[in-house]
């Protein structure tokens, strides 16, 4: 057995070269697309992935209004949030959410796939979702990626 092989654990100061990726959601399936985004945000696509350090990259999603779901999920998916008042549970169907805020569909799906910790809160902040094709993130020099 070779004892010279060591597992590389990055410290947060050692994380370098964070990039931004531009993904097109048109025609993609929601869950499969969201899991790929979560993988990039966490940094699992990198060889030096460290679970307790934010080593992931930023993701810009365009055409969020063209995302698809399979089967009867369009009628079944319900988004719930609580206002903070008594009886303040609010429910929004998938169709209503797609018409009003299509960007929240992808955001909600990805957020559910990230850790429910401070680290997950930090990672979700690197996700930008836009309903149309135009985005104001040219300064980040995003790299176009096909998934």
Q: How far apart are CA 52 and CA 3, in angstroms?
A: 24
Residue 69 has pLDDT above 70, yes or no: yes
Count of domains observed in the chain: 1
- Nearest by Cα to 144 from 45, 57, 64, 24: 24
Rounded to a whole number of angstroms, the CA Rg of the chain reads: 18
Rounded Cα gap, residues 36 and 91, in angstroms: 27
Residue 6 pLDDT: 82
Q: For 77-92, how does the pLDDT look when each residue is reduced to its tens digit (9 = 90+)?
A: 999 999 999 999 999 9
138 vs 71: CA distance, rounded Å = 36
Residue 130 in domain: yes
Q: Is residue 1 over pLDDT 80?
A: no
Per-residue pLDDT, averaged over 94-113, amounts to 96
What is the chain's mean pLDDT, rounded?
A: 94
On whether residue 94 sits in a domain, the answer given is no
Q: Is residue 109 part of a domain?
A: yes
CATH of the domain at 40: 3.90.1180.10
Mean pLDDT of 108-135: 96
pLDDT digits (tens, 9 = 90+) for 12-33: 898 888 999 999 999 999 999 9
């Amino acid at each position: 057995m070779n004892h010279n092989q060591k597992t590389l654990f990055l410290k947060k100061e050692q994380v370098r070269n964070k990039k931004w990726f531009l993904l097109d959601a048109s025609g993609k399936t929601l869950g499969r697309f969201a899991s790929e985004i979560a993988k990039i945000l966490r940094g699992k696509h990198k060889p030096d992935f460290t679970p307790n350090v934010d080593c992931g990259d930023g993701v810009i999603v365009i055409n969020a209004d063209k995302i698809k779901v399979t089967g009867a999920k369009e009628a079944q998916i319900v988004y719930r949030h609580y206002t903070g008042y008594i009886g303040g549970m609010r429910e929004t169907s998938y169709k209503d959410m797609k018409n009003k805020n299509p960007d929240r569909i992808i955001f909600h799906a990805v957020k559910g796939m990230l850790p429910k910790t401070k680290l997950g809160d930090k990672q979700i902040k690197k996700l930008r979702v836009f309903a149309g094709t135009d985005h104001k993130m040219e300064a980040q020099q995003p790299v176009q990626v096909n998934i």
